[in-house]
Amino acid sequence: MAVSKSDLTQIELKTLARVSRPGPYVGLNGKAVQKLIELGLVKTRVNGYVLTEEGIGLLRADAE
């Protein structure tokens, strides 16, 4: 399932960008993180979150 920027809300886009940087992830919107995980853009890790290849691609497309 391909996800585009238009499929995400502003909060979800900001959360995606924040997860792309190292933690700590204090103050993240839990609902936004959950939706990004469900869409396959973010994976959970023991010490936080990491972007999937699809999430990285979406951010790169956003930067262009």
Report pLDDT for 63: 61
φ/ψ region of 40 (left if φ > 0, alpha if ψ in -120 to 50, else beta) reads left
* pLDDT-based confidence at residue 62 (cuts at 50, 70, 90): low
Query: pLDDT tens digit string along 10-57?
Result: 999 999 999 988 878 888 888 999 999 999 999 988 778 889 999 999
Q: Measure the CA–CA gap between 27 and 15, rounded to whole angstroms.
A: 10
The answer on pLDDT for 64 being more than 70 is no
Report pLDDT for 33: 92
